[in-house]
């Protein structure tokens, strides 16, 4: 499928963020990142992390896991590669440049697919979800962490009030939880097993064991050059 949106501007933005990202976000994102990784690890050993960025999450996986991590930005991946080496994260089997909407993996390759703080940045989130679905084994989970809005949340007025601040740091102020859960329901092959609370939420969508294999096309992976 041809790329019809501007990936280059995303790459430019994250080339700028790569060196300072950890200092700004490490503490802020740790709770939802740990929660997402724990949920992914509970599904099995073979895990795909999409939009891994500088690799802040990689230290949270169990040593038994086998993690492949992808990102659009080579600059961010270089920071992740340094962590893999310096922290001896042997469970990380590969870091690859790849677009969330064109995953270069065979159908049903992973026990879990996790995407943290990336779904709201992707111009076509449903296409990214379709790709996650394609590469996920039946019985596995799509685990998403992000700034997600739920209008039934008692704190929704507060979140709306701070929306301009969130926008200033690049978070979508209006990406609704229901966009994920509606996608899951529409497939007829997923159940929503968890919707977290708070400003940053973790959402878990489980692929039914009875779900049939999907065979849409993906792109070839590009190996990261250290
Ligand atoms: C806010 S950072 C989150 C990084 C990491 N997941 C974390 O929790 O710290 C967003 C990351 O998504 C990546 N990204 C943006 N659009 C993408 C796409 N279409 N496919 C893959 N990665 C993408 C960016 O390059 C960036 O590294």
Average pLDDT of the segment spanning 91-101: 97
Q: What are 192-217's pLDDT values in tens digits?
A: 999 999 889 999 999 999 876 554 44
Please state which CATH number belongs to domain 7-148+174-209: 3.40.50.150
What angle in degrees, to the nearest 10, is found between the helix axes of 7-17 and 74-86?
Answer: 40
Query: How far does residue 63's CA lie from ligand 1's centre (Å)?
Result: 23
- Residue 30 CA to ligand 1 center (angstroms) comes to 16
* Both structure tokens of 216: 């849409």
Give the strands of the sheet with 200-207, arranged side by side. Answer: 190-195, 200-207, 136-147, 110-116, 46-50, 66-71, 92-97, 222-223
Ligand 1 binding pocket mutation candidate from 17, 51, 74, 169 (most atoms within 8 A of CB): 51
Residue with tokens 């859960």: 181
Kindly give the distance from the C-alpha atom of residue 185 to the centroid of ligand 1, in angstroms, as a whole number: 25
Phi and psi based region of residue 198 (left: phi greater than 0; alpha: psi -120 to 50; beta: remaining): left
Contact (CB, 8 A) for 115 and 100: yes
Least confident of 9-13, 87-91, 116-120, 157-161: 157-161
Tell me if 99 CB under 6 Å of ligand 1. Answer: yes
Indicate yes or no: pTM above 0.75.
yes
Q: Where are the domains of the chain?
A: 7-148+174-209
Q: Say if ligand 1 is within 6 A of residue 79 CB.
A: no
- Assigned token pair, 206: 């489980």
Cβ 14 under 6 angstroms from ligand 1: yes
Q: For residues 153 and 145, what is the distance between their CA atoms, to the nearest angstrom?
A: 17
Q: What percent of the chain has a predicted confidence (pLDDT) above 70?
A: 85
Quick: pLDDT tens for 12-55: 888 888 888 999 888 999 999 999 999 999 999 999 999 999 99
Which residue's CA is the closest to the ligand 1 atom numbered 12? 51
| 145: β partners | 116, 202
CB-ligand 1 contact for 56 (6 Å cutoff): yes
**Is the CB of residue 33 below 6 angstroms from any atom belonging to ligand 1?**
yes
Q: Which two tokens stand for residue 39?
A: 């949920």
pLDDT band of 218, cuts 50, 70, 90: very low
Give yes or no for residue 3 having a pLDDT over 60.
no
Q: Specify the residue with its C-alpha closest to ligand 1, atom 1.
A: 117
């Amino acid at each position: 499928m041809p790329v019809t949106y501007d990936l280059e501007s995303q790459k430019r933005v994250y080339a700028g963020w790569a060196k300072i990202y950890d200092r700004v976000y490490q503490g802020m994102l740790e709770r939802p990142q740990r929660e997402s990784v724990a949920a992914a690890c509970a599904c099995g050993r073979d895990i795909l992390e999409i939009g891994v960025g500088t690799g802040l999450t990689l230290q949270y996986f169990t040593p038994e896991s086998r993690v492949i991590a992808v990102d659009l930005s080579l600059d961010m991946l270089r920071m992740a590669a340094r962590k893999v080496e310096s922290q001896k994260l042997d469970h990380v089997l590969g870091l690859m440049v790849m677009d969330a909407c064109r995953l270069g993996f065979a159908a049903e390759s992973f026990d879990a697919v996790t995407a943290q703080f990336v779904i709201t940045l992707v111009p076509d989130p449903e296409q990214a979800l379709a790709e996650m679905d394609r590469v996920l084994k039946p019985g596995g989970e799509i685990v998403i962490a992000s700034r997600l809005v739920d209008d039934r949340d008692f704190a929704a007025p507060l979140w709306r009030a701070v929306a301009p601040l969130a926008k200033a740091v690049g978070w979508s102020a209006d990406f609704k939880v229901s966009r994920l859960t509606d996608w899951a329901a529409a497939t007829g092959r997923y159940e929503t097993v968890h919707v977290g609370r708070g400003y940053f939420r973790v959402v878990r969508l489980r692929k039914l064991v009875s779900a049939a294999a999907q065979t849409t096309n993906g792109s070839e992976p590009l190996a990261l050059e250290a």
